[in-house]
Amino acid sequence: MELSEAPHAIEAILFVSGEAVAVPELALALGLSEMETMHAVELLQKEYESQTRGIAIRRYGDHLKLETRAEYAPYVERLLQPVQRQTLSQAAMETLAVIAYSQPATKGEVEHVRGVKCDYSVQSLLHKGLIQEVGRKEALGRPILYATTDKFLEHFGIADVRELPPLPQLTGAAQQSDEPPLTP
Amino acid sequence: MELSEAPHAIEAILFVSGEAVAVPELALALGLSEMETMHAVELLQKEYESQTRGIAIRRYGDHLKLETRAEYAPYVERLLQPVQRQTLSQAAMETLAVIAYSQPATKGEVEHVRGVKCDYSVQSLLHKGLIQEVGRKEALGRPILYATTDKFLEHFGIADVRELPPLPQLTGAAQQSDEPPLTP
Amino acid sequence: MGIHIRLKQFDGPLDLLLHLIGKAKIDIKDVFVSEITEQFIEVVRSAEDFDLELASEFIAMAALLVEIKSRALLPKPPKTEEEEDPEQALIARLTAYKQFKESAQNMAEFEQNALQIFGKLPEEIPLPPPTLELDGLTLEALWLALRRVAERKPKEDRQVDYRLRDIRRDCYTVESCMEVIQSRLSVGEIPFEELFCSVPGREEVVTLFIALLELLKLGKVYVTQCEALERIILHPGRRQGFGIE
């Protein structure tokens, strides 16, 4: 396709699909390289932003999604009852925080940090698609390693895990060497 | 709300709604009069049209709806239903070769030549549109006769089955050196 | 302190410990010079929803706290390099847990902000049948496939003309069977079963029967049977009138 047409073709595709679309799939549909596709996406994003449109293109990891701008939420909610994403329980959020900040992490590592069994919250996060199995740890029992997904990014409205605030630095507590290594 | 914000608030509402929204409802949600609302809609429509965007606002009576532009439909279709690339299995290629050179042929005849059951490969070739039923043989059981299709010719880049290379000459067992009479 | 505490409201013993530390307004590292151990045991002991399933982790923590506290009362053994100080280990766990707990709260804020963003449902699009692209369809591949088939066949079959013909000549045809029946009947009537040889094949039976039906239709043969399950007799020629002959 013509490169100049690409941004608006992307707009049409994202509009129709509703859900987040993976960049490689988008590139395939357009018959463009992934680099050309991302370039077109950036053009479109700029166009949207310069006009403060009602909708915006957001990137979640490797996925792109067309969504409303947060500032128009009151008007949208006044007329429609949009399907709200469910918020996570405290237990699930804690489990997710440990995995997000120390990924990839095993269930055992999460349980060590939280001090409770985490079977249920890990299952629930897997089911919601917020975490995924990414391999096995080379350790006794070869436990499954978990990491966050692009859907996790979408749930929290960030493009990359690095956009999460850094782990809070606690004053007065000596850092211990037996903690799981963290990569915030 | 600010009148200048109205077009993009309308965009956000129409986007989330997915369905046609009545102008009075839209006006209510925005806290504007219907006339102000329609004015904002016209501004938004003009903005869309001047940019040949991927989506457009359509009016149905006093209802408004956000839709994709028809010219981008092929890209959308390609995303939702990507072209599947396949190769023919060796078994299917053999079955196709026997049918191509002796058409019309029954499954029984192909099986006799190949020395194996050919139900699966015949089904697969039918499904791929490379062969078709062309009648029934006047013999016991009136078996179905198969022949190649125009799609077959198209795939092999020939205009007529008579353009197929001549049959392999296999008069002796030591005929290892004979090459297909083709100029690739 | 208020004892009306349910264990369920805490995500495990570390959560309860942090809660008590927060309430006492002390630093994590001061946990063992405080009354936290006693408070912890009291909470677990008097919990309204005490059941072993839920409480086992709390009880294990209580045991650990008591162990650490009692160690402090004993003279300190000379420190060995590899031995882990359970007090320092627990403080480290509490510290790490507190960090993640706060991160979870930060993440909940992100989650709340994301709730202000709406997507839309996918459009319903009628799709054309899937297009299939086939790779490797060349005349050469087709020709080679045919040669492969030919080479697999036994040598004596090699000279086969690949223009396919009938595989096997039918031994019985309806026409020949009609002639057989008529010639048998030319000397007079015969019982139906004598039409067949002693060990008839399926093809013979089927073809002869079809031939017989054909002759009946053409009026060249007729059949009689005196009673049900009696012998069936074949007669040459067209039946005269009705009734049993």
pLDDT above 70 (res A80) = yes
Check pLDDT > 60 for residue B95: yes
Residue A103 forms part of a structural domain:
yes
Quick one: A11 and A71 in the same domain?
A: yes
pLDDT in tens, B36-55: 999 999 988 888 888 778 88
Count CB atoms within 10 A of the CB of residue C238: 10
User: Do B127 and B153 belong together in one domain?
Assistant: yes
Which strands form A105-106's sheet, in the order they lie side by side? A105-106, A144-148, A131-136
In chain C, the percentage of residues whose pLDDT exceeds 70 is 80
Write out the DSSP string of B115-139: SS--HHHHHHHHHTTSEEEEEE-SS
Residues 124-163 of B with CB under 8 A from C: 128-130, 139-140, 155-158
Residue B173 lies in a domain: no
DSSP string, C126-172: PPPPPPEEEE---HHHHHHHHHHHHHHS-GGGTT--SS---SS--S-
For the complex shown, is ipTM > 0.85?
Answer: no
Residues A56 and A111 in one domain: no
Half-sphere exposure in the Cβ direction for A94 (13 Å, CA): 27
Structure tokens at A43: 């053009």
**C241: distance to nearest CA of chain B, Å?**
37
Residue pointed to by tokens 């002639």: C179
Average pLDDT value for residue range C133-162? 69
Burial of C204 (0-12, 13-18, 19+ CB in 10 A): middle
Could you tell me the two tokens for C67? 């162990």
Contacts of C139 in chain B (CB under 8 A): 156-158, 164-165, 180, 182
Q: Same domain for B14 and B74? A: yes
Are A103 and A60 in the same domain? no
**Residue B54 and residue B113 in one domain:** no
CB-based contact A130:A104 (threshold 8 Å): no
- Other CB atoms within 10 Å distance of the CB of residue B138: 8
Token representation of residue C215: 């002759």
Whether a cis peptide bond, with omega within 30° of 0, leads into C13 is no
CB distance A115–C116 less than 8 Å?
A: no
| Cα separation, C121 vs A82, whole angstroms | 10
Neighbours of A34 (CB within 10 A): 13
Answer with the one of B80, B101, B130 that is the final residue of a domain. Answer: B80
CA triplet B29, B31, B32: central angle to 5 degrees?
115
Instruction: Find the CB nearest B16 among C120, C142, C153.
Output: C120
- Mark whether A74 and A99 lie in a shared domain: no
Q: Indicate the range of C131-135, C159-163, C226-230 predicted with least confidence.
A: C159-163
Segment B161-170 long-range contacts (CB within 8 Å, at least 24 positions apart): B161/B100, B161/B103, B164/B100, B164/B101, B164/C139, B164/C142, B164/C143, B165/C139, B165/C140, B165/C143, B167/B101, B167/C146, B167/C162, B168/C143, B168/C146, B168/C147, B168/C150, B170/C147, B170/C150, B170/C151, B170/C158, B170/C159
Outline where DSSP puts E strands in chain A: 21-22, 55-60, 63-68, 105-106, 131-136, 144-148
Same domain (yes/no): B71, B106 = no
Q: Which of A37, A49, A55, A66 to mutate to test the interface with B (most CBs of B within 10 A)?
A: A55
- Phi, then psi, of B105 in degrees rounded to 5: -135, 150
Last residue of a domain, one of B54, B80, B106: B80
Q: What is the mean pLDDT of chain C?
A: 78
- Show the tokens assigned to A164: 């999460």
Q: Is C201 helix (H, G, I), strand (E, B) or coil?
A: coil
Query: How far does Cα C85 stand from its chain's mean position?
Result: 51
Flag whether pLDDT at A32 surpasses 60: yes
- Comparing A99 with B174, the larger pLDDT belongs to A99
Q: Report the distance separating Cα C113 and Cα C96, nearest Å.
A: 26
Contacts of C91 in chain A (CB under 8 A): 173-174, 176
Q: Kindly determine whether residue A75 and residue B30, on different chains, have CB atoms separated by under 8 Å.
A: yes
Residue B122 lies in a domain: yes
Burial (0-12, 13-18, 19+ Cβ within 10 Å), B97: buried
By C-alpha distance, the chain B residue nearest A55 is B12
A74 and A97 together in one domain: no
B125 touches B95 (CB < 8 A):
yes
Do residues C100 and A98 touch, judged by C-beta distance below 8 A?
yes
More confident residue, C199 or C40: C40
Residue A152: the pLDDT is: 94
Tell me whether residue B72 is in a domain: yes
Q: Is the peptide bond before A166 cis (omega within 30 degrees of 0)?
A: no
Number of independent structural domains in chain A: 2
Query: Which chain B residue has the Cα nearest residue C172?
Result: B140
Q: Give the three-class secondary structure for B66.
A: strand
Which pTM was predicted? 0.63
Is A178 a domain residue? no
The answer to whether residues A113 and A158 belong to one domain is yes
List phi, psi (to 5°) of A10.
-60, -45
Q: Looking at the domain assignment, is residue B54 inside a domain?
A: yes
With contact defined as beta carbons under 8 Å apart, do C126 and C63 qualify?
no
Tokens of C184: 């048998």
Give the nearest partner residue to C135 out of B15, B85, B130, using CB atoms: B85
Amino acid A33 reads S
Contact assessment for residue A111 and residue A95, using Cβ atoms and an 8 Å cutoff: no
Interface of B with C in 10-69 (CB under 8 A): 12, 15-18, 68
Residue C166, pLDDT score: 57
Q: What is the dihedral of CA C122, C123, C127, C132, to 10 degrees?
A: -30
Handedness of CA C185, C187, C189, C190 (dihedral sign): negative
Please say whether the beta carbons of A65 and A156 come within 8 A.
no
Please give the average per-residue pLDDT across C146-156, as a whole number.
69
Q: Is A173 a domain residue?
A: no
pLDDT in tens, A106-158: 999 999 999 888 999 999 999 999 999 999 999 888 999 999 999 999 999 99
Q: Which domain holds residue B34?
A: 6-80
- Rg of chain A on CA atoms, in Å: 20
Over the stretch C43-73, which tens digit does the pLDDT of each residue have? Answer: 888 877 667 777 888 888 888 888 888 877 7
Residue A63 has pLDDT above 70, yes or no: yes
Please give the C-alpha separations between residue C233 and each of B36, C185, C193, C213, in angstroms, as whole numbers: 101, 11, 9, 14
Q: Say which residue, A38 or B176, is predicted with more confidence.
A: A38
- In this structure, the number of other CB atoms found within 10 A of the CB of residue A7 comes to 23
Beta partners for residue A147, in sequence order:
A132
Q: B81: pLDDT confidence band, cut at 50, 70 and 90? A: confident
Residue A48 lies in a domain: yes
CA C221 to chain CA centroid, Å, is 61
Mapped onto helix, strand or coil, the DSSP state of residue C224 is strand
Tell me: the pLDDT tens digits for A152-179?
999 999 999 989 888 877 544 444 444 4
The answer to whether residues A133 and A158 belong to one domain is: yes
* Range with the poorest average pLDDT among A161-175, B161-175, C174-188: B161-175
- Beta bridge mates, B105: B146
Given the structure tokens 């054309």, which residue do they identify? C128
Distances in Å between the alpha carbon of B115 and those of A11, B61, C152, C238? 55, 68, 9, 49
Q: Are residues B55 and B118 in the same domain?
A: no
For chain B, give the mean pLDDT: 82
Across A129-143, C10-24, C217-231, least confident range: C217-231
Query: Which residues contact residue A79 at a Cβ distance below 8 angstroms, ignoring those fewer than 6 apart?
Result: B13, B17, B21, B25, B26, B28, B29
Where does the pLDDT of residue C121 fall: very low under 50, low under 70, confident under 90, or very high at 90 and above?
confident
pLDDT of residue A106: 95
**Which of B39, B56, B80 finishes a domain?**
B80
Mean pLDDT of C196-213: 79
The per-residue pLDDT for range B99-134, each reduced to its tens digit, is: 988 888 999 888 888 888 888 889 988 988 889 999
Using a pLDDT cut of 70, give the percent of chain B over it.
89
Q: Which of C120, C124, C125 to mutate to test the interface with A (most CBs of A within 10 A)?
A: C120
CATH number of the domain where residue B76 is located: 1.10.10.10
Which of 56-115 (B) contact A at CB < 8 A?
A: 66, 68-69, 72, 75-76, 78-80, 82
In chain A, which residues have their Cβ closer than 8 Å to the Cβ of C102? 168
* Secondary structure in 3-state letters for B72-110: HHHHHHHHHCCCEEEECCHHHHHHHHHHHHHCCEEHHHH
Rounded Cα–Cα distance for residues B160 and B158 (Å): 6
* A26 vs B28, B53, B79: nearest CB: B79
